[in-house]
Structure 1
Amino acid sequence: MHHAEISPLMKDALVILGAAGIVIPLFARFRVTPIIGFILVGLLVGPYGLGRAVEAQPWLGAITISDPDSLAPFAEFGIILLLFAIGLELSFNRLWQLRKLVFGLGALELLVIGSLLAAALSMMGQYWTGAIALGLALAFSSTALVLPISGTTSPVGRAALSMLLFEDIMIVPIIFLLGALAPFAQADGLTGLIDTLWQGALLIVVMMVAGRFLLPRLFAQAARTKSPELFLAASLLVVIGASLATAFVGLSPIVGALLAGLLIAETEYHSEVEGIMEPFKGLALGIFLITVGMSINLQVVWDHLGMILAATVGVLVLKAIVTGVLLRLMGARRSTATETGILMASPAETSLIVLAAATSAMLVQPGTAQFWQIVTAIGLMITPLLALLGRFIARRVEPAPSLDEIEGDNNTPRTIVIGFGRVGKLVAQMLEKHDKPYVAIDFDSDIIENARREGYYAVFGNAMREDVLAQLGIDRAPAVILTMDEHIFAQRMVRKLRAKHPDMPIIARARDSFHAAELYRAGASTAVPETLESSLQLSEAALVDIGVPMGPVIASIHEKRDEFREHIREEGALETKPKLRTSTAES
């Protein structure tokens, strides 16, 4: 029986899709970015991994990439979609809110690190144009890895976001410069370079003007059809068209992709475009990262292991020190500067893009680019470890205060927040907003360490101990707020507090109306059932959306809340515990 032969390209596509199907859920299970997984997969299935053994074991050919060069167009498309996605994520409002950090800290971080790396590489024999390209490439940090680790609300997250935003912005002039140099990197004259620059600048101006008028109309027409396929086609048309236009005048197609993203980001359709392009961007970026992994020659790594490790450590240490020092000079705390510097130390996936552009521009030799690709890949893979190292060292350079350290500060009346999870943090934010001093306490050391890094006034301790409460200044506290979710512990805590402090306001979080009634019986001044509040907020949103004026809605919500609280207080005043009902709905 005759069997049709599977084409190599089809087989490679199956390998890539199979890798994506394994890597993404596996790494998501352990909360690790799939970027690392794709690089490892490329290393495993590439010509320097299992591909070496295909001649001896032919069956390995079914699970390895037979022709890595055939993936190059897909990898380039992945880079284009990545830059397009970066453009979609940028907005002028977001930049304006962080303008001082973005254009102050971010500019200093990229320029100082890039200059120092370029100077070091130049002294090591690299030609100055290539040294600049390599210095700028290695100065980038990973947006895809850093922000999921740091978040965007903590001091570390805000500092990282500002620097990463500036790096994203600087991709435009950096890629523009490399793209303009590409055809003339070895030419002595400047005529061709000048022609490319003015033609590229003119094209960008035309695209910006035309895009503001044409793109809203194009996507409005696609939206009217209510066809996701047409919306996707319009998005791809804009991305590919802009990339081809910039490539036509001698610039990198990446410039056109990022500019297209920036223009669409200013339209009301950017969220829909971002959502519909996300799966394609992720898969295309995965192909790019697989090609990076396939380019890592393990034999080269072994032969030059000392140089590679030295280069990796050198880049990491330089970036960590410079970033940390800059943050300290701009007023950041020692712990924030330390953790942010170490987290931002490794190169980025964007470094690989700039390296590829520098190689195509003949500014960097392929062998040199491969060396720094290996360094970048190693840096990407150890970024989660750098995050852990940064947190560990940050705790040592500026440990969270203990109860003994705040004992002398209990002359200031502070509201005491017991339990500092999601609800406790929100309570602390509202107290800060209204300039009300507070101190939070929790028995989970990890929670307290994270809270201190995020700028909250929180301490580790057991709130059930009287001496601990005394150190917190319980006798002068305006109120105690219990935010923990432990049913029994909350009742015991309320009962203990009420026995020692009969006149103190005690506000407690409750799971439902039955738990609230128990807390009232234990002595709580106010018990707030979560199910009640969610029901009231749902009702408020529904009434406003169907046209009821906001004023009467708010008045009725307050009236209903008071009615429920009075009812729960009456239940709590009963000596016998109310029977549990089978329904979880509020009465």
Structure 2
Amino acid sequence: MADTASHVSFLPPILTFCGAAVVAVPLFRLMGLSAVLGYLAAGIVIGPSGLSLVGEPGTIATVAELGVVLLLFIIGLELKLTHLWSMKRDIFGLGLAQLLVTALCLGGAAYQFGFAAKGAFVTGVAVALSATAIALQMLGERNDLQTPYGQRSFSILLFQDLSVVPLLAILPLLATGLGALEQDSLSDRLTTVATTLGAVAFVVIVGRYGLNPFFRVLARSGAREVMTASALLVVLGAALLMQEVGLSMAMGAFLAGLLLAESNFRHQLEADIEPFRGILLGLFFMSVGMSIDLALVQRQWAVLAIAAPAVIAGKTLILTLLSRAFGASWRDGLRSAILLSPAGEFAFVLLPVAQGLGLLPGPEAQLVTALAAITMLLGPILATGLETILRSRAGDDARPDASVLHGQEGELSSRVLVIGFGRFGQIVNQVLLSQGIEATVIDRNVERIRDAARFGLKVYYGDGTRLDVLRAAGAERAEIVCVCTDHPDVTQKIVEIVHQDFPNARSFVRAYDRIHAVNLMTMDVDYQIRECFESAITFGRATLEELGFDAETAQASADEIRKRDIARLVLQRSVGDMGGAELVVGAKIAPEPLLKPAGKARGLSPETRDILNEGIL
């Protein structure tokens, strides 16, 4: 039997990371700084240059890179191919210009500093790349990803991620010269290209035609943990396949997310992935902090004290000018530029490869690595400071434009979130669609989701009682949350979540019966209606008209009953027919007539008279 200590050997590093995070992140947030800085600072403290609480930061970094992979998957889920195509000018125009101009300027500076030509090229490219994880995390914290400058920043980051693969292919050529091309036969090169394209095609075909049926089968099982496992399987499987053919893991995950952006299961997938993304991304930032060699920083402090601010200032200036040339305002260009000024996580990939190929001597590679890490530490501080200054000067004008937030396709334009797509929710959506309001709809019934396609409606699979699913569906941006579920306990749980976590959204709720209606009124919902009440009122009015009463009299009778019912509901909410006892679990509110009966009830059969005690004298 294995020693007990072997089973718990993994606990100390986990506890170290969790302890560092729960201390550093809240502290930095209280100071008004980004959580990214808290993770970076925690990594420095617990790393080899600090308290040495973690002995193998390189191993941790390998696992932590999965956080970037999951982040790109979620970003892909929030995009659509049509939206991505509309960004092609910023992706391939501004993105390419930023990388070329920045790499040329930084590489030239490194060459003047004394680096060899090849080493200067690698340094320029590595530092020109930006920190995808940091930028997207800060955009998410500000809720600015869908703003013009947020979309422009994402376009540049996407091009940089695309460029990593050819950059990694160029490095061996720089080390061996053009003779390396002659060593590989034409058939070998064609095989490599065909394998890469085949892998991409495989992911596209499976994502387009296979994933929705796959998730539909799993959803019918009703096992929540299986959906979580399947989400991780899709993300990590696509990432691993892309890595095996020489592409970026992050790009594989992004491609998988992009293909699932139209899926009915996207909100549930996003909610299932989000906890893993948050934990692993925080671990990634801590691994960056652990990579900073404080001894090297101490020895080269003068060089780094000049180089780090110079890199940030240079990248900011270049990208501001380029953004302005591509049509951005000065303010938006500056916001994008300072956000992308730190060196990126791919610098920690390119630099070790270059050192291994002999393009960079060890001391120079370590110096550039420290420089990249320090810019990742300073960049978020400057970006946060700039954002504070811009918003204080411009007021509300510097905040995300509401027209932009609601003008995007998909959930960003949804003013209404409808939970439940049964017979009640379907009619609610038909009324909303009549005025051009396309609500975001959540339901756990797979068949209802399939039926929605015949109505031209978009319904997403998800559990409306989960806070993470509601967040993923856009509840924070919704003006009204319509709770149309048919189980009172489920309905009340959703109402509690909406009131607690989304106070800006008005709650319109379907009540099951009178008892449920009173309960909902005590919860201060903005509007409630019993599912059968209005239909029964309409039914009774039509009956009166068929019996010969004129339409005005029938309508007046219906209105009178409606007013009396509302008055009694208000009374039952305040004091109750049983002094509040009707709200106790198991108690019932006895149905009572809203108008005084004209006579005494009479049983028409012996059994009925026995029930009414009419036979007892």
When residues 27 and 367 of structure 1 are mapped into structure 2, their CA distance, relative to the original with a 3 A threshold, is same
Task: Deviation per CA, 1:183-242: give whole Å up to 9, x if none.
Answer: 777444225583433422232123222331222222222222222211121122223322
**Amino acid in the other structure paired with 2:154:** L
Determine helix, strand or coil for the equivalent of 2:241.
helix
Q: Is the 8 A contact 2:36 2:380 kept in 1?
A: no
Unaligned stretches of 5+ residues in structure 2: 402-502, 511-524, 539-573, 576-617
Question: Could you tell me how far 1:14 is from its partner in structure 2?
Answer: 1.8
Give the aligned partner of residue 102 of structure 2.
Answer: 113
Give the aligned partner of residue 450 of structure 1.
Answer: 395
Work out which of the residue numbers 126, 137, 152 in structure 1 matches 2:144: 152
Task: Deviation per CA, 1:510-569: give whole Å up to 9, x if none.
Answer: xxxxxxxxxxxxxxxxxxxxx9x96899999978999999xx9xxxxxxxxxxxxxxxxx
Q: Find the aligned partners of 1:326 and 1:27 in 2 and give their Cα distance.
A: 33
Give the aligned partner of residue 80 of structure 1.
Answer: 69
Q: Find the aligned partners of 1:355 and 1:546 in 2 and give their Cα distance.
A: 68
**Amino acid in the other structure paired with 2:17:** I
Determine helix, strand or coil for the equivalent of 2:260.
helix
Work out which of the residue numbers 281, 298, 301 in structure 2 matches 1:302: 298
Q: Find the aligned partners of 1:328 and 1:243 in 2 and give their Cα distance.
A: 35
Question: Could you tell me how far 1:282 is from its partner in structure 2?
Answer: 1.8
* Sequence identity percentage: 27
Q: Is the 8 A contact 2:242 2:252 kept in 1?
A: yes
Q: Find the aligned partners of 1:31 and 1:221 in 2 and give their Cα distance.
A: 46
When residues 122 and 90 of structure 1 are mapped into structure 2, their CA distance, relative to the original with a 3 A threshold, is farther
Work out which of the residue numbers 157, 166, 187 in structure 1 matches 2:156: 166
Task: Deviation per CA, 1:429-470: give whole Å up to 9, x if none.
Answer: xxxxxxxxxxxxxxxxx4x622344699xxxxxxxxxxxxxx
Task: Deviation per CA, 1:358-406: give whole Å up to 9, x if none.
Answer: 66887656654443333233223333432355358869xxxxxxxxxxx
Unaligned stretches of 5+ residues in structure 1: 52-63, 396-445, 457-530, 553-581
Q: Is the 8 A contact 1:110 1:140 kept in 2?
A: no
Work out which of the residue numbers 38, 56, 81 in structure 2 matches 1:67: 56
Q: Name which of structure 1's ranges 75-84 and 273-282 shifts more when overlaid on structure 2.
A: 75-84
Q: Is the 8 A contact 1:38 1:293 kept in 2?
A: yes
Question: Could you tell me how far 1:102 is from its partner in structure 2?
Answer: 4.7
Question: Could you tell me how far 1:299 is from its partner in structure 2?
Answer: 0.9
Give the aligned partner of residue 138 of structure 1.
Answer: 128
Give the aligned partner of residue 315 of structure 2.
Answer: 319
Give the aligned partner of residue 546 of structure 2.
Answer: none
Give the aligned partner of residue 469 of structure 2.
Answer: none
**Amino acid in the other structure paired with 2:157:** E
1:215 aligns with 2:187: no
Q: Find the aligned partners of 1:25 and 1:393 in 2 and give their Cα distance.
A: 23
Q: Find the aligned partners of 1:543 and 1:227 in 2 and give their Cα distance.
A: 32
**Amino acid in the other structure paired with 1:205:** A
When residues 88 and 226 of structure 1 are mapped into structure 2, their CA distance, relative to the original with a 3 A threshold, is same
1:13 aligns with 2:14: yes
Give the aligned partner of residue 42 of structure 2.
Answer: 41
TM-score, length basis structure 1: 0.59
TM-score, length basis structure 2: 0.56
Q: Name which of structure 1's ranges 127-136 and 78-87 shifts more when overlaid on structure 2.
A: 127-136
Q: Find the aligned partners of 1:236 and 1:200 in 2 and give their Cα distance.
A: 23
Q: Which structure is larger by alpha-carbon Rg, 1 or 2?
A: 2
Q: Is the 8 A contact 2:91 2:159 kept in 1?
A: no
Determine helix, strand or coil for the equivalent of 1:49.
coil
Q: Is the 8 A contact 1:327 1:337 kept in 2?
A: yes
When residues 240 and 359 of structure 1 are mapped into structure 2, their CA distance, relative to the original with a 3 A threshold, is farther
Question: Could you tell me how far 1:302 is from its partner in structure 2?
Answer: 0.7
Determine helix, strand or coil for the equivalent of 2:98.
helix
Work out which of the residue numbers 180, 194, 197 in structure 2 matches 1:189: 180
Give the aligned partner of residue 512 of structure 1.
Answer: none
When residues 137 and 94 of structure 1 are mapped into structure 2, their CA distance, relative to the original with a 3 A threshold, is farther
Q: Find the aligned partners of 1:278 and 1:284 in 2 and give their Cα distance.
A: 10
Q: Find the aligned partners of 2:312 and 2:339 in 1 and give their Cα distance.
A: 10
When residues 339 and 70 of structure 1 are mapped into structure 2, their CA distance, relative to the original with a 3 A threshold, is closer
Question: Could you tell me how far 1:48 is from its partner in structure 2?
Answer: 1.5
Give the aligned partner of residue 436 of structure 1.
Answer: none
Q: Is the 8 A contact 2:64 2:280 kept in 1?
A: yes
Q: Is the 8 A contact 1:336 1:394 kept in 2?
A: no
**Amino acid in the other structure paired with 1:135:** V
Q: Find the aligned partners of 1:333 and 1:251 in 2 and give their Cα distance.
A: 35
Give the aligned partner of residue 231 of structure 1.
Answer: 227
Determine helix, strand or coil for the equivalent of 2:322.
helix
**Amino acid in the other structure paired with 2:40:** I
Q: Find the aligned partners of 2:171 and 2:267 in 1 and give their Cα distance.
A: 34
Q: Find the aligned partners of 2:357 and 2:285 in 1 and give their Cα distance.
A: 21
Q: Find the aligned partners of 1:107 and 1:546 in 2 and give their Cα distance.
A: 61
When residues 150 and 18 of structure 1 are mapped into structure 2, their CA distance, relative to the original with a 3 A threshold, is closer
Question: Could you tell me how far 1:135 is from its partner in structure 2?
Answer: 1.9
When residues 129 and 298 of structure 1 are mapped into structure 2, their CA distance, relative to the original with a 3 A threshold, is closer
Q: How many residues align?
A: 411
Q: Is the 8 A contact 1:324 1:337 kept in 2?
A: yes
Q: Is the 8 A contact 1:176 1:251 kept in 2?
A: yes
Work out which of the residue numbers 75, 79, 94 in structure 1 matches 2:83: 94
Q: Is the 8 A contact 2:67 2:280 kept in 1?
A: yes
Matches within 5 A, 1:48-63: 48-51=49-52
Task: Deviation per CA, 1:14-35: give whole Å up to 9, x if none.
Answer: 2112223334444444453322
Q: Is the 8 A contact 1:175 1:252 kept in 2?
A: yes
Task: Deviation per CA, 1:326-383: give whole Å up to 9, x if none.
Answer: 2333454444444544444333456556656766887656654443333233223333
Q: Find the aligned partners of 2:529 and 2:284 in 1 and give their Cα distance.
A: 50
Question: Could you tell me how far 1:94 is from its partner in structure 2?
Answer: 3.4
1:242 aligns with 2:231: no
Matches within 5 A, 1:221-370: 221-349=217-345, 351-352=347-348, 367-370=363-366
Q: Find the aligned partners of 1:73 and 1:148 in 2 and give their Cα distance.
A: 24
Matches within 5 A, 1:381-392: 381-387=377-383, 389-390=385-386
Q: Find the aligned partners of 1:216 and 1:270 in 2 and give their Cα distance.
A: 10
Q: Find the aligned partners of 2:217 and 2:359 in 1 and give their Cα distance.
A: 44
